[in-house]
Chain A
Amino acid sequence: MSNLLEIDNLKVGFKNSSSQWTNAVDGVSIAVRPGEILGIVGESGCGKSVTMFSVLKLHDQRNTRYAGEIRFEDTELLTVPEKDMRQLRGKDIGFIFQNPMSSLNPLLTIGQQIRETVTSHRKHLPKKEVEALCIKALDDAGADDSAVWMSKYPYQLSGGMLQRVVIAIALVNEPKLLIADEPTTALDVTIQAQLLKVLCHIRDERGMSIVLITHDMGVVAETCDRVAVMYLGQIVETASVDELFANPRHPYTQGLLAATPPMVGKIPERLNTISGSVPQLSEVAKGCRFASRCPFASQECLSGDIPMFDVDEQHQSRCIKFNTIPDFRKVTA
């Protein structure tokens, strides 16, 4: 089965105020298969959002440069003309943003904001059908009274309700790929769980692929099929969720897992933290980027750029010691 989205050696650079370029994403390769939920995890600033924003080229064009390839079905997104790119946005690829309160235009009704998503891609659709599509999308996103919501302004709805609206906007054109950038971070815990359920349900019903960007290992365990762990602009480990949680083969992943309360069993008295802090992108030296915080780092880790190693066919790690580092349960015990 061919991949829906393939990102190949993507590099995204930003220009700062003194006109210097820094690569926020440095050689990311990842694929999204049809119908799967792929989780991308990492600390804030690791480049997970930057990577997925690049898929729709949402960065400010004037101070961003891209290199590498992003293929969506048969289209090469980095070189596609702006006109065709616009057709993909909101139609074949839906996007859910982090903060629902600010993601919606405060001066337009919910109805206007969903409707225009349909009409800008399908100009000649009769009004009634547009309306029906909008209501259906809101229903699918879990709105309890879609028709009433349509006439409301954003300030009249709560954060959880607004995030459902944002999901409905992303869904309304039945995209093949849904990218959700920390969709639940700004909301409280009970609503988080409901919204994650909504996303899973949509995937089961419509068979679309979902990329879920998050920093929460718990969310990954609950929702995703596969997961990619990012650190400082690079992917450090990819595997299926079960494999990753059972057998993490990168010290950073191990650290992340050790910092998360386990899903089953007794919660340890204290959770581990990863020592040190994320270095600045501009300070990245040769070799493994995690070396400065890694308990297993040695001289050879700094000798050159580290490639991805195959742990097995479905499991890759960017650690030269992937075979020798101890099992993390023993480390934390």
Chain B
Amino acid sequence: MLKYIFKRLLSAVPVIFIVGILAFFLSRLSKGDPARVIAGTDATDSQVAAIRQQMGLDLPLPNQLWDWFIALLHGNFGYSYILNQSVSSAIASHIFPTLSVAIFGEILSLAIAIPLGILAADKQGTFTDKLVQGFATLTTSMPSFLVGLLLMLLFATRLNLLPVSGFVSPTESFSQYILHLILPAVSVTTLQIAIVARMTRSSMIDALSSDYIRTAVAKGLPRSQQLWHHGFKNAAIPVLTVVGQSFGELIAGSIIVETVFDIPGLGQLVVNSILRRDYQMIQGILIFVAIVFIFVNLITDVLYAVIDPRIRQESF
């Protein structure tokens, strides 16, 4: 098992490497001289040159790339000269609300999508199934911020049931923290529910038509046990793949949705950085999210092995 995990970790290295190179070229993409932008329009040439040297921009490109990697390996995602703050510390101070929304959204999506997908597969071809499928197609057409706005429209002007903006720290009031997360989490997760439910349905249908399910029926197991213990366990791997990918999408989604609900998270940092033209910050955040994405994929790989003894076996 440990060997398997190690192998997976190793296989992530080239991807991280390539992500680093891509991000590096992305950061060199912008037209104009970043040093001049930072120094301001009325800076002298020597001031600009000093900044260039400080940023390492005077070095040859391969050296810059090398430095960039060394910095990345130290967990340094760059430095914002506009905020005069390292990207990692800016991310650290904004990550909590974003992660809260994303994780809460993930929990909601799993809790709703998987039973829904299993239900649709069990009732394949019936009205219930068509309803679930229709819901899935409809919600895959709605971006998270649109769902957020529509929920806001409904809750702010009609229902007055839930808070529609802001963020409350859990140390301040845990119940308020949860209440403020509900609408943003629902907004980011609607699309993911559809994707996960669809995948659960189709891979459950494959599992349910297998011989071992027939055996489970002939053994006299209760339907719920047939579905979950035998069916879903076998259907879980493709579902897990989608869930792993969805977490990255949830973080990206919450960055957008934060704008709708005025949540002071990474999204606010991104939007403000856009307004400030602080591209170092945006690229730093981009790499950070990519690394989170790769990391989550690693976790799903490990979970494959937990579920399937045959995958566990392959490493020995």
> Per DSSP, are chain B's interface residues mostly helix, strand or loop, or mixed?
helix
User: Which residues does chain A contribute within 8 Å of B313, judged by CB atoms?
Assistant: 155
Residues 53-95 of A contacting B (Cβ, < 8 Å): 56, 58, 62, 86-91, 94-95
Residue of A nearest to B230 (CB): A105
Name the CB-closest residue of B to A114.
Answer: B219
Measured between beta carbons, the chain A residues less than 8 angstroms from B234 are 105-107
- Judge whether B220 and A103 touch: CB under 8 Å: no
| Least CB separation from B221: chain A residue | A120
The interface stretch among B64-72, B162-170, B206-214 is: B206-214
Closest to B219 in A: A90
How distant is the Cα of A106 from the Cα of B220 in the complex, in angstroms?
Answer: 19
The reply to whether the CB of B225 lies closer than 8 angstroms to some CB of chain A is: yes
Digitize B303-315: 1 where CB-to-A-CB distance is under 8 Å, 0 elsewhere. 0000111100100
**Contact, CB under 8 Å: B308 / A116:** no
Counting chain A CB atoms within 10 Å of each CB, the highest count among B214, B220, B308, B309 belongs to B220
Residue in B125, B214, B215, B307 whose Cβ sees the most chain A Cβ within 10 Å: B215
Given contacts A62-B125, A105-B230, A105-B234, contact A90 B211 (CB under 8 A): no
Within B154-192, the residues touching A (CB, 8 Å) are none
In the complex, chain A residues whose CB is within 8 Å of the CB of B215: 95, 97, 103-105, 166, 169
CB < 8 Å neighbour of A89 from B210, B220, B229, B308: B220
Shortest CB distance A213–B (Å) = 14
Check if A116 sits within 8 Å of B221, measured CB to CB.
yes
Task: Indicate whether A97 sits within 8 Å of B214 (C-beta atoms), given known contacts A105-B234, A107-B233.
Answer: yes
Cβ contact within 8 Å between B218 and A108: no
Taking the complex as formed, is A153 at the interface, i.e. its CB lies under 8 A from any CB of chain B?
yes
The answer to whether A99 has its CB under 8 Å from any CB of chain B is yes
0 or 1 for each of A266-287: is its CB under 8 Å from B? (1 = yes): 0000000000000000000000
Contact of A155 among B124, B210, B212, B310 (CB under 8 A): B310
Using CB atoms, name the residue of chain B closest to A116.
B221
A190 to B212 alpha-carbon distance, docked (Å): 25
Give residues in B with beta carbon < 8 Å to A: 124-125, 210-212, 214-222, 225, 229-230, 233-234, 307-310, 313
- Asked if residues A58 and B218 are in contact (CB atoms below 8 Å), the reply is yes
Contact A90 B218 (CB under 8 A): yes
Please, how many angstroms separate the alpha-carbon atoms of A58 and B215 in the complex? 9
Does residue A121 face the partner (Cβ distance < 8 Å to B)?
Answer: yes
Given A58-B214, A89-B220, A106-B234, 10 more A-B residue pairs with CB atoms under 8 Å apart are A86-B222, A97-B215, A99-B211, A102-B212, A105-B233, A105-B234, A106-B212, A107-B234, A116-B219, A169-B215
- Chain A neighbourhood of B229, CB < 8 A: 108, 116
A117 CB–B CB distance under 8 Å: yes
Query: Measured between C-beta atoms, what is the minimum distance from A214 to chain B in Å?
Result: 18
- Bound-complex Cα distance A169 to B124 (A): 29
Cα distance, A24 to B87, chains bound together (Å): 70
Query: Within the complex, what minimum Cβ distance (angstroms) separates A69 from chain B?
Result: 21
Given contacts A102-B210, A106-B234, A120-B225, A58 and B217 within 8 Å (CB-CB): yes
Contacts of B219 in A (CB 8 A): 89-90, 116-117, 120, 169
Best-surrounded residue of B124, B211, B219, B307 (most CB of chain A within 10 A): B219
Q: How far is the CA of A281 from the CA of B233 in the complex (A)?
A: 38
Instruction: Please indicate the chain B residues that have their CB under 8 angstroms from the CB of A106 in the complex.
Output: 212, 234, 308-310
Of the A-B pairs whose beta carbons lie under 8 Å apart in the complex, a sample of 15, sorted by A's number, is: A58-B214, A62-B125, A95-B218, A99-B211, A103-B214, A104-B212, A105-B216, A106-B309, A107-B308, A108-B229, A108-B230, A116-B221, A117-B219, A121-B220, A155-B313
Residues on A lying within 8 angstroms of B by beta carbon are 56, 58, 62, 86-91, 94-95, 97, 99, 102-108, 116-117, 120-121, 153, 155, 166, 169
Contact assessment for A89 and B125 in the assembled complex, using a CB-CB cutoff below 8 Å: no
A86 & B233 in contact (Cβ 8 Å cutoff): no
For the complex, give the distance between the alpha carbons of A106 and B229 in Å: 12
Are the CB atoms of B218 and A87 closer together than 8 Å? no
Contacts of B211 in A (CB 8 A): 97, 99, 102-103
How far, in whole Å, are A90 and B219 apart by their CA atoms in the complex?
4
Q: Whole-angstrom distance between the alpha carbons of A174 and B233 in the complex?
A: 28
Residues from chain A with a CB closer than 8 A to the CB of B212 are 102-106
Indicate if the CB atoms of A88 and B233 lie closer than 8 Å: no
Contact B218 A89 (CB under 8 A): yes
Q: Which residue of A lies closest to B308 (CB)?
A: A107
Query: Nearest residue in A to B307 (C-beta to C-beta)?
Result: A107
Which residues of A sit under 8 angstroms from B216, Cβ to Cβ? 105
Within 8 Å CB of A56, what residues of B? 217-218
Residues of A within 8 A of B124 (CB): 62
In the complex, chain B residues whose CB is within 8 Å of the CB of A102: 210-212
**Shortest distance between the CB of B209 and any CB in chain A (Å):** 9
